[in-house]
Each structure stands twice: as structure tokens, then as C-alpha cells.
Amino acid sequence: MKFTDMLQAAEARNGSLLCVGLDPEPAKFPGDWKGDASRIHDFCAAIVEATHDLVSCFKPQIAYFAAHRAEEQLERLIQHIRRVAPGVPVILDAKRGDIGATAQQYAKEAFERYQADALTLSPFMGLDSIEPYMDAYPDKGLILLCRTSNPGGSDLQAQRLEGGELLYERVARLAQGAWNRHGQLGLVVGATFPAEIERVRELAPTLPLLIPGVGAQGGDAASTIRAGLRPGGTVMVNSSRAVLYASAGADFATAARAEAQRTRDTLNAARGG
Ligand SMILES: O=c1ccn([C@@H]2O[C@H](COP(=O)(O)O)[C@@H](O)[C@H]2O)c(=O)[nH]1
């Protein structure tokens, strides 16, 4: 099944535009699990079980697994998501970007080893750096960094190019048009920059937007929806730490569910539903 179809179906089934980010930090785990990297799978599995009916997708960030030599736990976690939440797409957040030959290996890692449905990519090495993903995996989602949520995102992405366009605007235009050979591209745009979300939406009316930055980074959920959601152009609004660490106690999964529900409802209220 194509990533975009899977996303649309999960969004409708769960009535949700929320993406729960899986960024496990053992130092923040509850009770006896605190500091124990062998519990990464168990911690994330509990979050998935508590929130799977409230989300449109999950987004594990690979660094939180690789830093603890926990790639095998990530493989098991994605298999667990398949069992607990069949049909809910998994976006592997790895922000890959390299020459074609290396990109082929990254693509194999994401889509064959981890069995992800979508992958985040840096587009800044150009079209030939994303072609290997498109050519070999036309049904998978490829979500390009466009206007990231961090303050330093402005350093390069807001630079004006020859001809007057800003760099992030060029990324949005190419992703909506010339680069989108199989209709599989999406864009990352930070919730911390609602005016830029709106501009990206003008340039890319139908692409799915992955929008991190609500919750711990302080982006406003309602402004995000107003700026980014359009008929035919959906959003995946990501929250990671605010959900995962809603409680540091034994009730962490229940607290994560409550926070996910609150965020989902805020997003839905902003779209008038
Ligand atoms: O522009 C970007 C791109 C990716 N991220 C990632 O999203 C989550 C955000 O986590 P929070 O705890 O909700 O702040 C994290 O995995 C980042 O690597 C981003 O924040 N901004």
C-alpha cells in the first residue's frame, strides 16, 4: 500500500492528525527502567500500546536508538507497531542525504531492514541524492527537510537565491512539481514558524506536511492547523517529548495517552471537527 493511502486511512480511522514521535531517552525512563537502554523497546512499546488509536502515524528518530546500540530494538519496535497498530504508518526520521551509491544503502536500511513506510531526507545534495529512494521504492513516502523547526533553520533555509526565491521556497516548489515523479514526496516544516508553513502550503498545496515543534518546542497547535491543513493537503503534527515524558512515574503510559488525546483534540478543534 502507498504511504499516502495508508496515512489517509489511519487519519480517518483514528480521527487524528497527530504523529507521536518515539525519541526514547533511558535517563528519563520511569522507576527501575531509568538509565537502562535495554528497556528502549519496552518503553516505546508501552507508548505505542497507549496511543495507537489516537494517531495518524508514529515517528521513531533513529539517533535515539543508534546512540545506545539499540537498532535491533528499533527493528522489533516497528514489528510491534505492525501487530498493535496495523495500518498506522511508520516514518523513520533519519534525515539522510548522500551521493547516489550511498543513498541506495540508506534506502535499503530504511525500507528493508526497518520496514518503514516513509523516511525523512535532506534535499540539500540535490535531485540525484534522492533519486535512488524514488526509483527503488515508489510507494514509500519521502519527506524532505524544507523549513525546519530550530532557530538555526533560518541560517540557510531563509537565504534568498538568484531570482528572488528563498531556499525553503525552492525546496517546496521542486517537491510539489519537478521532483515528485511518483507522487511520494512530503515536506518537513516547523510548527515554530506558522507564517512559513502557510507559504509552503501555497507552493505545495497537495503535499503531506510533517510538522514537528508543538509540545516541547512551544509551537502552537491551532496556528499550525490553520496554516498547514487544506482540503487535499494533509498534515502530520508531531509531538515527541511532551507525550513520552508526560509523567516520570509508573503511570507514564496513561499520562502519555492523556497528553496525546489532549493534543489530538486541540488539533481537531482547530480544524473545526
Ligand atoms: O525541523 C525539525 C525536524 C525534525 N524534528 C524532530 O522532531 C522531533 C521533535 O521532538 P519534540 O520532543 O516534540 O520537540 C525530534 O525527533 C526532532 O529530531 C524537529 O524537531 N524539527
Mutate which of 93, 124, 192 for ligand 1 pocket (most atoms within 8 A of beta carbon): 93
pLDDT at 273: 63
pLDDT at 232: 95
pLDDT at 16: 98
User: Three cell numbers at 197?
Assistant: 508553513
Q: Give the pocket of ligand 1 (CB within 6 Å).
A: 21, 23, 61, 93, 148-149, 188, 190, 212-213, 215-217, 238-241
Say whether the ipTM exceeds 0.85: yes
Please give the number of the atom of ligand 1 that sits closest to the Cα of 64: 16
- Written in H, E and C, the secondary structure of the chain is CCHHHHHHHHHHHHCCCEEEEECCCHHHCCHHHCCCHHHHHHHHHHHHHHHHHHCCEEEEECHHHHCCCCHHHHHHHHHHHHHHCCCCCEEEEEEECCCHHHHHHHHHHHHHHCCCCEEEECCCCCHHHHHHHHHHCCCCEEEEEEECCCCCHHHHHCCECCCCCEHHHHHHHHHHCCCCCCCCEEEEECCCCHHHHHHHHHHCCCCCEEEECEHHHCECHHHHHHHHCECCECEEEEECHHHHCCCCCCCHHHHHHHHHHHHHHHHHHHCCC
Residue spans of the chain under pLDDT 70: 273
Report how far ligand 1's centroid is from the alpha carbon of 128 (Å): 26
Report how far ligand 1's centroid is from the alpha carbon of 21 (Å): 8
* Whether domain 3-271 has CATH 3.20.20.70: yes
Please give the number of the atom of ligand 1 that sits closest to the Cα of 214: 13
pLDDT (tens digit per residue) in 21-36: 999 999 999 999 999 9
